[in-house]
Chain A
Amino acid sequence: MMKMRELINCVVPENLDEYRDVFVYIEHSDGHIKKSTLEMLGEGKKLAKKTDEKLVGVAVGEELTPIAKEAEEYGCDIFLGTESPDLKDFASVPYTNYLAEMIEDYKPNIFLMSGTREGRDLVSRIAIRVMTGVAADCIELDIVENTKILSAWRPSFGDKTIDQILCRKHRPQTITSRPGSYKVAEKQPGNKCDIKIKKVTVPEAMKKRKILSFRPKDRLDLTSAKKIVSGGLGLGKPEGFELIRNLADELNAEVGASRPVVDLGWIPYEHQVGQTGQTVRAKLYIAAGISGKIQHTVGMINSENIVSINNDPEAEIAKVSDYFIKADLYDAIPKIIEEVQKYKNGKAVVGESPEKAA
């Protein structure tokens, strides 16, 4: 017989006014709160001021006292923790269980989580457990005027519109945020936090999952990269990425790529920018030998400065570019490197005309 929870719709709670305060899920590692969570604490404080509510940090783990102290520094009014040696490593089932317990006991109005892999793993399970709705990957949060309703804005497909997601009748109003979209909370010296840490014994049934190994490997995260140099089919050959990398190194940038060159195996998938790759918001995005199909441009269009290099004057990439260099990329890239080096070597100075500098 299959065990399953009752299949039930999202029941509306009887008394919405019972729900108060802003919960922020605190992710931590090595005794410190993660930066993505600090963004949510800053945002949580802002919302709590608007609704005249308290900011409550909630965490699960093995040793939470240092986390609680940090939460206090960053402005939490209350810290709730569930502690056990068996909760040292993240696991969906026990973490869902203890977070849902804290939500059911406290009845928060709002619940914020950062959209990290851990946050995204947990959020939907918790929401279904406590019967509420979720807005995913929000980039802007506010309170509907004169209410306690959260106005959560998330980009729709391809970032062409930004949709306001409302959860009017269910509590807590739960969201995940897109990491990097908000300012990190400021430290609040002298802030006092009411710290409540509960020690629990995790039942055997929740301990069946085992972590067999962990191999540290930083995933290439282009979504938070400030500068990206991407290559496409116009490179003509896989070795073309050496030139892309040279420019990227010169600019202290990451290397990106369009889908066709990833499909050809010229460069690993983790470099892919676009609809089926990563969505980036760089300060500088250089697209070399990329024609500019929508599949690619939806993933980079929100970059601040876009430079493209293509010898096809009709390339669609020109339309979304600040600078479209109509030239062979094998001529243009060395030229850019040469120019940047001039400034680095002090042979050119900002403010002087480049002719003079050269």
Chain B
Amino acid sequence: MVLDIIVMIKQVPDAEEIFIDPVKFTLNRSQARGVINPADENALEAALMIKDKTPAKITVITMGPPAAESALLECMGRGADRGILITDRAFAAADTYATSLTLAAAVKKIGRFDLILAGESTTDSGTGHVGPGVAEFMQADQVTYSTSVKIEGDTIIAERELEHGIEVVQTPMPALVTMLINANIPRRSSLRRRIDAMRKGIETMDHESLGLPPEWVGIKGSPTIVGSLKIPEEKKRLNKTITLEEIPEMVKELIENKAIVLGDDEDA
């Protein structure tokens, strides 16, 4: 039996290339290169580690602009078998309900799966809602905050990292697992596989091929909207540049400001 694994990824702006606009003091993401969301790389690696031991077919899906194709090719270069780009102008500004619905429709169109893997959350919005949202539509169990996952018979065994401990759970497939960032070390893509991937190409899906009415997707299909926004007041910094000799004065000021507390009763 060959396992069918779907990995859901998102392309996000590279954190290393985001900078502050020197005039407006706003974050400038426009020039940042798109990269695979870090936790999604760990999800793909978890899938590849399963495939190293068990016959498996890995399909990577992403919802995003046409440029997200490069992220899919990278995943195929690392060992995924198939890449699907879910792209449509109608998908723009989708909230987590509409995004989950669209991805669930893609999973339905793919037809079957034993395991869906996704990053726990993305670095650009970070809600962590889409994985569980898809699991709900698929009526599959979900194992969130995982650091490892392995196959045992027709079940999975996964470790979950919680606030106060590590829980090991076993649940039947089909199931959805979200992987924590840094859960494993993602492998590099091979040149040969990348060339194969480019030859093979990626598939695309839009709202029509998914059978979703346009008013169900994107901003129209989203129950939440952004009403307004405010810019938090930048905290005024003292901006004092000091030398070693001025450290006693600084320590004194920090104690007076209760930033340094002598004794340890403050957190009680």
Tell me the A residues contacting B by CB distance below 8 Å.
Answer: 2-5, 7-10, 91-93, 96, 116-118, 120-125, 127-129, 131-137, 151, 153, 155-170, 208-219, 221, 226-227, 251-252, 269, 274-276, 283-284, 293-295, 301-302, 304-307, 313, 318-327, 331-332, 335-336, 339-340, 343-344, 348, 350, 353-355, 357-358
Q: A5-B137, A275-B15 are in contact. List 13 more A-B contacts (CB 8 A).
A: A117-B162, A125-B133, A133-B223, A157-B125, A217-B166, A219-B162, A294-B27, A295-B16, A305-B257, A321-B238, A339-B248, A340-B262, A348-B252
> How far, in whole Å, are A344 and B257 apart by their CA atoms in the complex?
16
A contact residues around B206 at 8 Å (CB): none
Q: Kindly list chain A residues whose C-beta atoms are within 8 Å of the C-beta of B240.
A: 322-324
Inter-chain contact B19/A124, CB cutoff 8 Å: no
Interface locus among B56-64, B77-85, B94-102: B94-102
Within 8 A of A (CB), among B179-221: 181-182, 212-213, 215-216, 221
Which of A10, A117, A170, A313 is B145 in contact with, Cβ under 8 Å? A117
A340 near B169 with CB under 8 A, answer no
Supply 27 A–B pairs (Cβ within 8 Å), ascending by A.
Answer: A4-B104, A5-B139, A9-B98, A10-B98, A10-B223, A91-B141, A121-B132, A121-B144, A122-B132, A123-B129, A124-B132, A129-B136, A133-B96, A165-B225, A165-B227, A210-B171, A212-B170, A227-B259, A275-B18, A323-B240, A325-B243, A327-B243, A327-B244, A343-B262, A344-B262, A354-B248, A354-B252
Cβ contact within 8 Å between B260 and A7: no
Q: Nearest chain-B residue to A121 (Cβ)? A: B144
* Cα(A139)–Cα(B223), bound, Å: 20
Q: In the bound complex, do residue A7 and residue B104 qualify as a contact, i.e. CB atoms below 8 Å apart?
A: yes
Whole-angstrom CA separation of A227 from B262 in the bound complex: 13
In terms of DSSP, what is the predominant structure of the interface of chain A? mixed
B contact residues around A211 at 8 Å (CB) = 167-169
Q: Does B239 contact A (CB under 8 A)?
A: yes
Contacting pair B230 A212 (CB below 8 A): no
Return the contact of B168 from the options A5, A213, A221 (Cβ within 8 A).
A213
**Interface residue ranges of B134-153 to A (CB < 8 Å):** 135-139, 141-142, 144-145
Least distance between B135 CB and chain A CB atoms (Å): 7
Q: Give chain B's interface residue range (CB within 8 Å of chain A).
A: 35 or more
Contact check, B224 vs A269: say whether CB atoms are below 8 A apart: no
What is the CA–CA distance of A125 and B51 in the complex, to the nearest angstrom?
29
Tell me the interface secondary structure of chain B in the complex: mixed
CA distance A304 to B225 in the complex (A): 31
Closest to A164 in B: B227
Interface centre among B96, B170, B216, B252 (most CB of A within 10 A): B252
| Partner pick for A120 among B144, B161, B224, B242, CB 8 A cutoff | B144
CB distance from B250 to the nearest CB of A (A): 5
Q: Does B23 contact A (CB under 8 A)?
A: no
Q: Which residues of B sit under 8 angstroms from A313, Cβ to Cβ?
A: 241
Could you say which of A96, A117, A155, A221 has the most chain B C-beta atoms within 10 Å of its C-beta?
Answer: A117
> A304–B259 contact, CB under 8 A?
yes
Q: Is the CB of A121 within 8 A of B164?
A: no
Min CB–CB distance A36 → chain B (angstroms)? 9
B239 touches A326 (CB 8 A): no
> Which residues on the A side are within 8 Å of B252 (C-beta)?
348, 350, 353-354, 357
A208 contacts B137, C-beta separation under 8 Å: no
Contact B248 A358 (CB under 8 A): yes
> At the interface, yes or no: B53 with Cβ under 8 Å from chain A?
no
- Interfacial chain B residues near A217, Cβ < 8 Å: 164-166
In the complex with contacts A10-B221, A128-B133, A137-B126, A117-B144 CB distance below 8 A? yes
Task: Known contacts A5-B137, A165-B227; decide if A124 and B237 are in contact (CB<8 Å).
Answer: no
B167 touches A213 (CB 8 A): yes
Give the distance to chain B from A341, nearest Cβ to Cβ, in Å.
Answer: 10
A251 cross-chain contacts in B, Cβ below 8 A: 260
Shortest CB distance A135–B (Å): 6
